[in-house]
Structure 1
Amino acid sequence: MDERMWHQSSDVSLVIRTDFAHPQEWTAIQAAIVEPQTEDGFTASVAFVDDRAFEGITPSQLLEVVPADFNHAVAFLVDTKALTHPDRPILVVNLYDYVEDLEDQGKGSQYGATFRVLPSETWSVQNNLTISNMDWEEFAGNANAEGIFRGF
């Protein structure tokens, strides 16, 4: 694992591949994430991590390897479900939960929480959570019964 990946600009979110059995689907998801989705050309600002050190990693395991000085709002896990489900829902992991007066800032009750997002909506989640324009609950609360955020 290249430790430098954790220290990129906080404006860039990591998209981590955890399944290595579906290479064509991984390529398709990457293309879908970076494709402009709005009239204004908004895209997700991401760095793709294609490292077998993350093979099969779960959200709780991810939290164990995230460095203490990592200052990103979310990470995206491209797991088996994302690569095999017809809608390709990517797992979003909350890496920063601000709670006023909490001593261990960033690790509130929503730290490590998850929902899934369509590749076409990744830009919205990434852009808005990265700059704190919207809160975690606004996206997670709008996920459907399957736990997938499909847009507003």
Structure 2
Amino acid sequence: MDPDAGEPPAGDQFLTVERDWVRVEAGSSSEAPIVTLYAGGDPGPQAGWEDVEEITMVSTTGFLALCDGGYNPVHKANLATAGTGTYVIRVHASDRSSEDKKPRFLIQVIPGQRTGAEPAPPSATIEDSEGPLLVRTSFTQPQEWARLLDALDEAAQKHHAPLTVIDNPAYTGHTPAQITARIQRDDEGWPATTLVLIADEQALASAEYPVLAVNNLPDDDDAPFRITLAAASSLVVNMELSNTDFREWVQGVDADGIYREEHY
């Protein structure tokens, strides 16, 4: 994973390691893979993947990057967040042998060694959840995310808005369409979740936390809109009680495209 450090490892195992390198066997699919990267503290293994394996490597240069099959960097961002030293590389994979799907990978680069302790429980997934969701798609602002959760807890205590938080790096950078495509549907096509709030980079960059509200009701084509976290609880409550419809909220946004009024 450091293209300037020695020879990459050879082998046909899922994960093969050498100093400064981990080789990931992409599988037999001819499609270009979709890779999501995570670097930082251990979030634990994620659910919903066909294969999950981890291996320990040593970085002697303090630089780690994702490289393609020709050992050229695909992303130049340095994944070695703790500089030189030992890292756990945990790789999640699905569709590696599929003929009609692109193989998907989630690669976690975690400073330190495996401790032998029980791993953290898998994060909640969109696919296994139902009811209104708050989905985190940006993982570069951990302090802002923590403050958002604190504000959400305070609002929930006041208004009892039913909301499941999805804090899972597998959904990094997901668009509204990608998120709604993962929501389960029953035999009649009714989705398990009809309202999604997305905490993306833009939402976390503002003290108002203007999350993106997405309507997932069948046959509705309302455009997503942004709503402050303070007002989002009222949206969730009223939508769950069928007191209002999504379009009324879209029409009430301010000039900057953000809805701020609370209704209880």
Using the size of structure 2 for normalisation, the TM-score is 0.47
Could you list the runs of 5+ residues in structure 1 that have no partner in the other structure?
97-105
Larger helix proportion of the pair: 1
Q: Which residue of 2 is the match for residue 125 of structure 1?
A: 235
Residue 65 of structure 1 pairs with residue 174 of structure 2: no
Is the CA contact (8 Å cut-off) linking 2:208 and 2:230 kept in structure 1?
no
Residue 115 of structure 1 aligns with an amino acid whose one-letter code is F
Please state whether the residue corresponding to 1:29 is helix, strand or coil: helix
Cα distance, 1:46–1:149 mapped onto 2, change above 3 Å: same
Higher relative contact order (CA 8 A, sep 6+): 1
Per the TM alignment, residue 44 of structure 1 is displaced from its structure 2 partner at its CA by: 2.3
Partner Cα separation in structure 1 for residue 178 and residue 205 of structure 2: 22
| Equivalences, count | 137
Larger radius of gyration: 2
Partner Cα separation in structure 2 for residue 148 and residue 20 of structure 1: 22
Match runs of 1:67-146 below 5 Å: 67-69=184-186, 70-96=191-217, 106-110=218-222, 113-146=223-256
Is the CA contact (8 Å cut-off) linking 1:59 and 1:93 kept in structure 2?
yes
Cα distance, 1:64–1:36 mapped onto 2, change above 3 Å: closer
Partner Cα separation in structure 2 for residue 30 and residue 148 of structure 1: 20
Per the TM alignment, residue 36 of structure 1 is displaced from its structure 2 partner at its CA by: 3.4
Residue 31 of structure 1 pairs with residue 150 of structure 2: yes
Partner Cα separation in structure 1 for residue 255 and residue 47 of structure 2: 36
Partner Cα separation in structure 2 for residue 53 and residue 35 of structure 1: 27
Segments ≥4 residues shifted beyond 6 Å = none
Q: What's the Cα RMSD here?
A: 2.2
Please state whether the residue corresponding to 1:16 is helix, strand or coil: strand
Cα distance, 1:36–1:109 mapped onto 2, change above 3 Å: closer
Please state whether the residue corresponding to 2:197 is helix, strand or coil: strand
Please state whether the residue corresponding to 1:36 is helix, strand or coil: helix
Per the TM alignment, residue 63 of structure 1 is displaced from its structure 2 partner at its CA by: 2.4
Partner Cα separation in structure 1 for residue 260 and residue 239 of structure 2: 16
Partner Cα separation in structure 2 for residue 140 and residue 2 of structure 1: 34
Per the TM alignment, residue 64 of structure 1 is displaced from its structure 2 partner at its CA by: 2.2
Larger strand proportion of the pair: 2
